[in-house]
């Protein structure tokens, strides 16, 4: 037993010596999106690389890891820097940037990857519009690789109190012509993830099919996004602007940014939207880029793929959830009867 331990120790020391001499470990985060300075919904890959790695070699490595077609997509590589004044995410654009993140004094070199289409519709004149591609088709389960959960508690679709009592607009009063809510379907699940949302949307599709000229609105939960791509790939999927506004308020803590976002999503004319987003770019470039990466057709009136009128929130679902606060504590059969009686 002692000999075996010594052999393992010698092996570890030998590998460490080799790494110190000419190689190091690099962590590549890919398949996620930036929300402020947080990289959400990503997968992780550990790789061994030479210390003198060039920028071009790093790009090729990332393309292989993230399975990105260089002819179709662009890569944006970033690192995270922590200072007394806060967190920044400088871009990695040349050999000097690569050398900096590979500095021997750094404990763990990291690269964060954003994938965007090379050909994109320029919604704001000369402003580049990035369309992020989330990679959900790779399961990494070896000892060094891990995939983060797609559960984003910041965008919980059961949250009934998004800025409760602070809605200044009539936009939250959605429902049928009589002013009442018309629940189309509801389901029960023990966890909200891609699998449960796929099941729910599959049952919904079996019940109502794929209606034309409709749009499904939800929060920004990654499980819903993935399930929509599977079950309703041709149905437009939008994001609730009240949930987005709450995230922007929490992430950036700036009233001017929140106000500009509100102006942007409410604008019906593309020219008005463009004007507001140009102002957003001047005020806070990171917020502007994050919103454009989400894609304006997901949250704005001006670029909605269907006639959404004023409906750009999931307030109907939130209203339903508000009515079920106490019912959630009931046995499942009792809760079903409660819901049926309520409807």
DSSP of 243-312 = HHHHHHHHHH--HHHHHHHHHHHH--SHHHHHHHHHHHHHH-HHHHHHHHHH-GGGT-STT-SS--TT--
Let me know whether 306 and 166 are in one domain: yes
Least confident interval from 132-136, 249-253, 313-317, 332-336: 132-136
The number of folded domains in the chain is 2
Query: Does the pLDDT of residue 272 top 80, yes or no?
Result: yes
Alpha carbon distance 270, 286 (integer Å): 21
Let me know whether 165 and 291 are in one domain: yes
State mean pLDDT over 205-218. 81
At residue 147, the pLDDT reads: 32
Let me know whether 135 and 252 are in one domain: no
State mean pLDDT over 23-29. 82
Say which DSSP state 298 is in.
G
Residue indicated by tokens 């049928």? 176
Range of the domain at 34: 2-147
State mean pLDDT over 86-102. 85
Top pLDDT among 322 and 157 is at: 322
Burial of 147 (0-12, 13-18, 19+ CB in 10 A): middle
Let me know whether 229 and 140 are in one domain: no
Q: What is the CATH number of the domain that holds 142?
A: 3.10.20.90
| CA-wise closest residue to 185 among 212, 213, 204, 158 | 204
Q: Convert the pLDDT of each residue in 133-177 to its tens digit.
A: 222 222 222 323 333 333 344 444 333 333 333 433 434 444 444
Alpha carbon distance 118, 121 (integer Å): 10
Distance (Å) of CA 102 to CA 48, 65, 235? 12, 18, 44
Burial 34-71 (b: 16+ CB within 10 A, else e): bbbbebbbbbbbbbebeeebebeebbebbbebbebeee
Residues 45, 27: contact at Cβ < 8 Å?
A: yes
Alpha carbon distance 236, 216 (integer Å): 6
Which of helix, strand or coil describes residue 2?
helix
Other residues' Cβ atoms within 10 Å of the Cβ of residue 118 = 11
Residues 32, 41: contact at Cβ < 8 Å?
A: yes
Last residue of a domain, one of 147, 176, 197: 147
Alpha carbon distance 343, 336 (integer Å): 11
Let me know whether 28 and 130 are in one domain: yes
Let me know whether 138 and 190 are in one domain: no
At residue 106, the pLDDT reads: 56
Query: Does the pLDDT of residue 279 top 50, yes or no?
Result: yes
Let me know whether 108 and 171 are in one domain: no
Residues 228, 46: contact at Cβ < 8 Å?
A: no
Alpha carbon distance 135, 66 (integer Å): 8
Let me know whether 186 and 120 are in one domain: no
Last residue of a domain, one of 130, 147, 164: 147
Last residue of a domain, one of 147, 170, 191: 147
Say which DSSP state 154 is in.
G
Let me know whether 130 and 67 are in one domain: yes
Query: Does the pLDDT of residue 260 top 90, yes or no?
Result: yes
Other residues' Cβ atoms within 10 Å of the Cβ of residue 122 = 9
Token digits of residue 30: 């890919």
150 backbone dihedrals φ, ψ, rounded to 5°? -90, 10
* N residues, the chain: 343
State mean pLDDT over 217-238. 86
Let me know whether 117 and 257 are in one domain: no
At residue 88, the pLDDT reads: 80
91 backbone dihedrals φ, ψ, rounded to 5°? -80, 150
Let me know whether 200 and 103 are in one domain: no
Alpha carbon distance 53, 69 (integer Å): 21
Least confident interval from 44-53, 154-163, 186-195, 263-272: 154-163
Let me know whether 242 and 173 are in one domain: yes
Rounded to the nearest integer, the mean pLDDT of the chain is 71
């Amino acid at each position: 037993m002692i000999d075996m331990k010594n052999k393992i120790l010698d092996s570890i020391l030998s590998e460490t010596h080799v790494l110190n001499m000419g190689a190091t470990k690099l962590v590549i985060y890919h398949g996620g999106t930036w929300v402020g300075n947080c990289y959400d919904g990503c997968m992780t890959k550990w790789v061994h690389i030479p210390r003198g790695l060039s920028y071009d070699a790093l790009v090729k490595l990332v393309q292989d890891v993230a399975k990105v077609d260089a002819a179709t997509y662009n890569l944006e590589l970033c690192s995270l820097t922590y200072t007394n004044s806060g967190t920044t995410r400088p871009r990695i654009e040349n050999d000097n940037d690569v050398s900096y993140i590979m500095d021997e004094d750094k404990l763990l070199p990291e690269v964060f990857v954003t994938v965007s289409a090379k050909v994109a519709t320029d919604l704001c004149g000369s402003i580049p519009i990035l369309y992020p591609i989330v990679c959900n088709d790779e399961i990494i389960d070896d000892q060094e690789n891990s995939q983060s959960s797609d559960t984003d508690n910041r965008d919980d679709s059961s949250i009934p109190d998004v800025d409760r009592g602070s809605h200044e607009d009539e936009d939250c009063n959605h429902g049928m012509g009589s002013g009442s809510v018309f629940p189309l379907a509801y389901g029960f699940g023990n966890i909200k993830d891609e699998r449960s949302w796929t099941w729910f949307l599959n049952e919904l599709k079996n019940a109502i099919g794929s209606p034309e000229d409709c749009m499904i609105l939800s929060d920004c939960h990654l499980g819903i996004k993935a399930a929509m791509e599977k079950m309703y790939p041709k149905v437009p999927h939008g994001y609730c602007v009240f949930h987005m506004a709450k995230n922007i308020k929490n992430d950036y803590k700036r009233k001017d940014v929140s106000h500009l976002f509100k102006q942007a999503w409410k604008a019906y004319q593309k020219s008005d939207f463009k004007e507001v987003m140009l102002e957003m770019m001047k005020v806070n470039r990171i917020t502007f880029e994050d919103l454009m990466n989400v894609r304006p057709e997901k949250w704005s009136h001006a670029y909605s793929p269907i006639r959404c009128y004023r409906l750009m929130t999931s307030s109907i679902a939130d209203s339903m959830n508000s009515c079920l606060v106490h019912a959630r504590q009931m046995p499942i059969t009792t809760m079903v009867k409660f819901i049926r009686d309520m409807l």
